[in-house]
Amino acid sequence: MRIAIVNSFYPPWRGGAETYVSNLALALRGRGHSVDVICSCDPLKPGISDEDGVQVNRLRLAGRLYGTPIPLGLARALRMVDADVFHANFPSPYFAFKVSRTAKSRKIPAVLTWHNDLPPVTSAAGILINLHDNVVLHRYIRGFSRVISTSPTYALRSRNLSRFADLVTVIPNGVDCERFNPKINSSHLREDLLADQKFVILFVAALTKWHRYKGLDILVQAVKIAVEKVSSVLLVIVGDGELRPEFESLVHASDLEQHVIFVGDVSDDILPCYYAACDVLALPSKDMSEGFGLTLLEANATGKACIASNIGGIPSVIENNHNGILVPPNDTNALAQAIIFLATHPEKCLELGRNGREFALLRDWKQIAALTEQVYMQSTHKS
């Protein structure tokens, strides 16, 4: 089958949707399919390249609208690509709209993965979101034969997905259980972080306004409470962006310089070592912008427990007191108490991590690609 996957960006751009697209593309390629990816060029130069057997067409960027890249030549690339099925990814309204229209004109079936609703980063953005959700969305979403939600919880909670429930199929995010595994030796990294005797909390996300909903500010405030009871707590933050100075100022104002480390962006080769070096991953997301939380699955695959908000699609990934602890969103004290509990109950922390590894093994990308392939086949037969 010839599959054309369309997304805003592609690695080395860092993001959940980009991780999803690259892993899915490689897994589908491994199943014998021909895979093309069409995306914006950032952070590389425009052009077509073969990347591990996947043909990646990076388009020159003309500009952005509400964070969504507007690439030059997208319509032409969609018209010219040799495909049996299109697979678009949201939240990229412009890309989804273009794929829907092109699929209809070319009579090629199309599938859409809905990673999350558009995040309301500003009041003005809220106006644009309402315009999209109430006026624009219904003009293109019916052009997709199926809409994939990565979480059954999010499929029910999302106002948009619930409106088009007849289109929705749930296929969870996947994880590379070989790349992320409990046997990774991270002792050298813990030494570099001066974390040998520390209880290490890991946070992984871009530090941009589009990812403010990940709740790093809530986590920093919770760490301030936690260190009053457990002085060994150390928060390690992986990620970078324009909000880093703001978060660094918050750490300074909270007098937490000895308990928080910003390591910036790290390479994909090194990232698994950070998961292995931590005791627990924290994802205190604030609202429904969190459709899944791929970092939770990566942590679980590495045998690590998670602390996360009971919001969005997270409850489909974390079962409370099984592979992690769920806390109410935006509840600093509850988050702090969860940190204190796991820091003072190491055996429980290890148990949650072991359960997480078992959970992740059921969601290896090879299995997720097979499920996605079934959706493609069903869509092709319908057309």
What are the tens digits of pLDDT across the range 15-35? Answer: 889 999 999 999 999 999 999
Is residue 290 within 8 A of residue 311, CB to CB? The reply is yes
Is residue 75 within 8 A of residue 103, CB to CB? The reply is no
Please tell me the class of the 187-361 domain.
alpha beta
The reported pLDDT for the residue numbered 172 is: 93
The reported pLDDT for the residue numbered 291 is: 86
Query: For residue range 57-81, what is the model confidence (pLDDT) as tens digits?
Result: 999 999 887 778 999 999 999 999 9
Is residue 87 within 8 A of residue 3, CB to CB? The reply is yes
Amino acid at residue number 350: L
The vertex-324 CA angle with 320 and 326, nearest 5°, equals 50
Q: Which residue has the tokens 């989804």?
A: 96
Q: Can you tell me the distance from the alpha carbon of 345 to that of 199, in angstroms, rounded to the nearest whole number?
A: 11
Question: How many Cβ atoms are within 10 Å of 191's Cβ, its own excluded?
Answer: 11
At the topology level of CATH, where does 2-174+364-382 sit? Rossmann fold (3.40.50)
Location of each CATH 3.40.50.2000 domain in the chain: 2-174+364-382, 187-361
Regions of the chain short of the pLDDT cut 70? 121, 382-383
Structure-token pair, residue 73: 């030549």
pTM: 0.88
Beta bridge partners of 34: 2
Q: Is the peptide bond before 12 cis (omega within 30 degrees of 0)?
A: yes
The reported pLDDT for the residue numbered 132 is: 87
The reported pLDDT for the residue numbered 118 is: 84
The reported pLDDT for the residue numbered 383 is: 58
235 — alpha (psi -120 to 50), left (phi > 0) or beta? Answer: beta
